[in-house]
């Protein structure tokens, strides 16, 4: 069940058997996303705050080590993932680890926060205010966009420390984030979306 698993020392070293791997070494897997809650892991053990992919044979891969990523929002959904296997530095290899290049929902008819999540990336740019124009469904509503140094414009799917928005407008900075495609079951404007994990002020180049 989602939320019931955590990597433990009792898991055989190497964890899950390898999935399908292409000539470039990219691994392809399908399974269910599991984001274990702290309560489900019990007391007296190190809390795992990342995300697992549980395959149909019961084996598991770590697909996110951080405590806050868009993959956490996919808990309980069946997905397909592609990426590169890696060994984390300074850790005993309990479960296999996958650096996800792209995660997609397995059944597009299923309601999920995102239908696709791309790998983490760093982008330089700035935030700008934006008002939806007349003639659109969101006419008059205000939001912010992230404008990358190369000119690409992103809607913001998630913003850490939202109270900092106004202070950050127009300033050159660097963000760490994930390109995501939101659910097709909600009304939303077209264009790329960025799920922002962290903001580094004083770094970056504005467009």
Q: Under CATH, domain 20-107 is a member of which superfamily?
A: NigD-like N-terminal OB domain (2.40.50.500)
Helix (H, G, I), strand (E, B) or coil at 85: strand
Question: Do 119-201 and 20-107 have the same topology in CATH?
Answer: yes
Question: How is the chain split into domains, by residue range?
Answer: 20-107, 119-201
pTM higher than 0.85 for the full model?
no
Selecting from 3.30.930.10, 3.50.50.60, 2.40.50.500, 3.40.50.2300, what CATH number does the domain 119-201 have?
A: 2.40.50.500
**CA 142/CA 156 separation, integer angstroms:** 12
- The 10s digit of each residue's pLDDT in 126-145 is 999 998 888 878 788 888 99
Mean pLDDT of 9-21: 47
163-175: burial string, b at 16+ Cβ within 10 Å, e else: eeeeebeeeebbb
Kindly report, residue by residue over 74-96, the tens digit of the pLDDT.
Answer: 999 999 999 999 988 876 567 89
């Amino acid at each position: 069940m989602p939320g019931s698993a955590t990597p433990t020392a009792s898991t055989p070293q190497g964890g899950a058997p390898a999935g399908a791997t292409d000539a470039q070494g990219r691994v392809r897997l399908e399974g269910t996303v599991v984001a274990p809650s702290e309560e489900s892991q019990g007391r007296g053990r190190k809390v795992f705050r990342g995300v697992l992919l549980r395959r149909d044979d019961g084996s598991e891969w770590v697909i996110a080590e951080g405590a806050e990523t868009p993959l956490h929002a996919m808990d309980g959904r069946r997905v397909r993932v592609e990426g590169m296997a890696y060994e984390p530095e300074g850790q005993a290899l309990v479960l296999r680890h996958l650096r996800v290049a792209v995660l997609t929902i397995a059944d597009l008819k299923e309601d999920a926060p995102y239908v696709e999540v791309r790998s983490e990336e760093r982008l330089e740019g700035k935030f700008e205010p934006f008002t939806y124009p007349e003639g659109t469904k969101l006419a008059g509503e205000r939001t912010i966009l992230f404008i990358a140094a190369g000119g690409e414009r992103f809607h913001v799917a998630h913003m850490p420390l939202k109270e900092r928005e106004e202070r950050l407008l127009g300033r050159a900075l660097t963000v760490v984030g994930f390109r995501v495609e939101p659910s097709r079951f909600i009304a939303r404007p077209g264009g790329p979306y960025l799920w922002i994990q962290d903001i580094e002020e004083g770094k970056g180049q504005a467009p």
